[in-house]
Homo-oligomer: A and B are copies of this chain.
C-alpha cells in the first residue's frame, strides 16, 4: 500500500510555530493511524508536558460548548494559548459536530491563539483510549497552555475522558440528571469539579444538594484530599464562570502541590504505552493469520488434536 509521504520535521516545526494547518494535519495523521505517527510522536515528545488538560463532560444539551466558550474568554484575557478538542465517541466519523461547535464558539473562531478541532474517537482500539491522547500531545507540543477536551457523555466515555484529563469538569443541568442518575452513570467518582449549568431553571438548588449529598457519601475525609466543589453557572450569560475558572486554578495548584499531577500523567502514559504495545502485538498476530498459521492451529482445535490454550501458546511463541 502506497502511503503519502509526510515531511514530519517540517510539519512539527510549523505546528510549534502555531500554524493551524500544520496542527490540523498532525491531528489528521492521528485519526488515520498514519504510519508516520511514530515519527511524529518522537518529534513532539520533547515539547510536551506543558498543557493543562481540562476534560468537560456531560449529557447532550447541558451546555458544554457554551461553558467552554466562556472559559476560553477568561483564558484569552490572561493571554493563554488554548486548544479545544471536541470528541464525539458515538461517531466513527469526524467533523460531524464541527459546524455546531464553531457556531457556539464564535467568539474565538477567528482568534489565531485558539485552536478548535472536532474529532472522532473510535480508533482502531475503539473508545477514546487511542486517538485522543495523541491529539492532546499534538496540541500540547503546539504550545497550547490549556487544552479543553469536550466529550458528549455516553456511558463509558465520560469515565474515559477523566482518564485523559488533569482536571475533569462534570456538567449537569437541573432536571436533566439528578444525583441518582449521576451516581448510576459513575460520574460522581470522576468529577474534580461539578457544575450545575442553566442554574436559573427550576430545580437547580435541588440538583446541587443532590450532588453534594452523593459526593459526601463517598468522602473518606482523608487529609490532603481534593474535595470536589459543586458550582452553579448560567454559562450563556457568564454567571458563575469566573468561579469555575478559580476552582480549576485551585485544582491545578492542589495537584501540583500533592504530586497528583505527575501521578495522573504517569498513569495515563502507562495506559497509552500498553494500548500501543497490545496493538503492535495484534498486528503481529494478524500477520500470522495472513500466513495461515492461525488457521492451521484453529483447524487442529476443531479436529480435537489441539486446544485453544496450546494453540495460543504457539501464537505467542511465534510472536516472541
Contact = CB atoms under 8 A, between A and B. Distances in A.
Contact of A311 (B269, B302, B303): B269
Nearest to A298: B269
A262 B47 contact: no
Nearest to A279: B312
Contact of A280 (B49, B266, B304, B316): B316
A260 to B, nearest CB: 13
A235 to B, nearest CB: 32
Contact of A309 (B49, B262, B276, B316): B276
A301 interface: yes
Nearest to A289: B270
A282 B276 CA distance: 12
Interface in A261-320: 262, 265-270, 272-274, 276-278, 280-282, 285, 289, 294-295, 297-299, 301-313, 315-316, 319-320
A303 B47 CA distance: 9
Contacts of A311: 269, 273, 276
A268 B315 CA distance: 16
Interface in A21-73: 37-38, 41-42, 44-49
Given A266-B299, A302-B265, A320-B320, A273 B312 contact: yes
Interface in A223-265: 262, 265
A308 B272 contact: yes
Interface of A: 37-38, 41-42, 44-49, 133-134, 262, 265-270, 272-274, 276-278, 280-282, 285, 289, 294-295, 297-299, 301-313, 315-316, 319-320
